[in-house]
Amino acid sequence: QLQLQGSGPGLVYPSETLSLTCTVPGVSISRSSYYWGWIRQPPGKGPEWIGSISSSGSTYYKSSLKSRVIITVDTSKNQFSLKVNSVTAADTALYYCVRHDGTVIRGGIVDYWGQGTLVTVSS
């Protein structure tokens, strides 16, 4: 059973940078058919896709967040990471690291989710 383990600070000050890392133990994230991504969920609301990255480093971001978001991958550590800069209270949410299919037919189906990391933006 694949596990995704997200980690990072639970409190970020306004205007600063949110940084989270997801580790995938026991499975090589280099497998080319999958993408690794971040989805957030504000309290009481639906999930919002932030962006995804392939094992080779190709990235795709939600258009409204693109100017503030960077997703990177470190296959040697079996980790991928999220940075969101210039955060505001609107970035307060439960942040999930996820795996989704990257094939033509099934691309975008999210089959594994991490446990979620609650990030609060507040002074």
Q: Which parts of this chain interact with other proteins (CB under 8 A)? A: 45-49, 52, 60, 62-64, 96, 100, 106-111, 113-116
Q: DSSP states of 52-88 as a string? A: EEETT--EEE-TTTTTTEEEEEETTTTEEEEEE-S--
Q: Which is nearer to other proteins, 26 or 104 (CB)?
A: 104
CA distance 22 to 63: 22
C-alpha–C-alpha distance, residues 101 and 88, integer Å: 31
Cβ 76 to other proteins, closest distance in Å?
26
Q: Minimum distance between the CB of residue 81 and other proteins, rounded to whole angstroms?
A: 19
Minimal distance, residue 84 CB to other proteins, in Å: 17
- The number of residues in the chain equals 123
Cβ nearer to other proteins, comparing 3 with 30:
3
Of 29 and 114, the one with the shorter C-beta distance to other proteins is 114
Return the number of the residue (16 or 27) whose C-beta is nearest other proteins.
27
Q: Decide if 86 contacts 104 (C-beta within 8 A).
A: no
Smallest distance from other proteins to CB 108, Å: 3
Strand partners, 24: none
